[in-house]
Homo-oligomer: A and B are copies of this chain.
Amino acid sequence: MAVTATKPSSSAVEEISGEQIHILDAADDAFGGVVVEMKKPINANVFDTSLRKSISHWREQGKKGIWLKLPIELANLVETAVKQGFWYHHAEPTYLMLAYWIPETAHTLPANASHTVGIGALVMNDKREILVVQENNGRFKGTGLWKLPTGTVDTGEDIGEAAIREVKEETGIKAELMELLAVRQSHNLSFGKSDLFFACMLRPLSFDIQKQDSEIAAAKWMPFEEYAAQPYMQKNEHFNYIAKICAAKIENDYTGFCALPATAASSGRRKSCLYFNNQEGLVVPNDISSQ
């Protein structure tokens, strides 16, 4: 393809292949940087020249970080940006976010999300039986191990909501969150990320199990002692402690963290929930919700 750059006069806009070269549209961020969100298709050569001119412009303005968001439809622009010194910051299925740092100093751009988050659900009925499952997939498939329903907390999902959802999906049981019993942090899991796993205590609101066929091989109510006596639970130090914590909870000898969602007035646009030990009655019961 022919590339022609013309500079008819000092004040005129440069052109390539008949397309005008503009400074890219950018919004200021709160940290002295700019955010560029590319939306429309653009010739890669035009983009190359526009990006180069734009970086010079932002450098003159004293800008620091440059964020460049490229939707997956504009994958043809990735190579151009990388050649000009952008690096990958993060990606989601529909876009890639690249970053560039103008000052000579080390960059202070915030890090990408660092943790996956998961839950395990201790759901106990009034016969002191807990809800257990065997899975169709994963490391415990075919081992005969009965385990607590577990799952992933999605972006934007409350820990308690995730526990309630997973129990419902896997076993058909409706439940409500009582407490976070413990949290385990592990490193070097999927793609080198870290993980936070919350052991949650739930109160069942229904009792007839309807297991999900795709993920769950079997589900039942099992006496807690039988669950805790499984050899794997005895062998794995943290599983063993979680079982001890559950046993203490069953005897009313344990206090975890309960949930206090922010009221709309105080949380602003952001949804948030505080989990803490309310044993000494810091908060009156009406303030506390199981979400």
A residues near B, CB below 8 A? 31, 72, 75-76, 78-79, 82-83, 87-97, 110-117, 137, 152-159, 180-194, 196, 235-238, 241-242, 244-245, 248, 253-257, 260, 262-263, 265-267, 269-277, 279-280, 282-283
Contacts and interface: CB of A to CB of B under 8 A. Distances in A.
A260 B275 CA distance: 20
Given A115-B117, A241-B260, A255-B255, A271 B186 contact: yes
B248 A280 contact: yes
Contacts of A274: 182-184, 238, 241-242
Interface of A is mostly: mixed
Contacts of A266: 235-238
Given A117-B196, A238-B262, A275-B183, A270 B88 contact: no
A95 B89 CA distance: 9
Nearest to A271: B187
A112 B114 contact: no
A119 B223 CA distance: 38
B111 A184 contact: no
A268 to B, nearest CB: 10
A145 to B, nearest CB: 16
Nearest to A95: B88
B116 A113 contact: yes
Given A79-B75, A88-B91, A88-B94, A111 B187 contact: no
A224 to B, nearest CB: 16
Contacts of A116: 110-111, 113-115
A115 B186 contact: no
A87 B113 contact: no
Nearest to A240: B266
Contact of A270 (B72, B188, B196, B271): B188
A79 B44 CA distance: 12
14 contacts: A75-B78, A89-B91, A112-B113, A115-B116, A115-B196, A155-B193, A156-B188, A182-B257, A182-B277, A183-B275, A185-B275, A238-B267, A241-B276, A248-B282
A271 B188 contact: yes
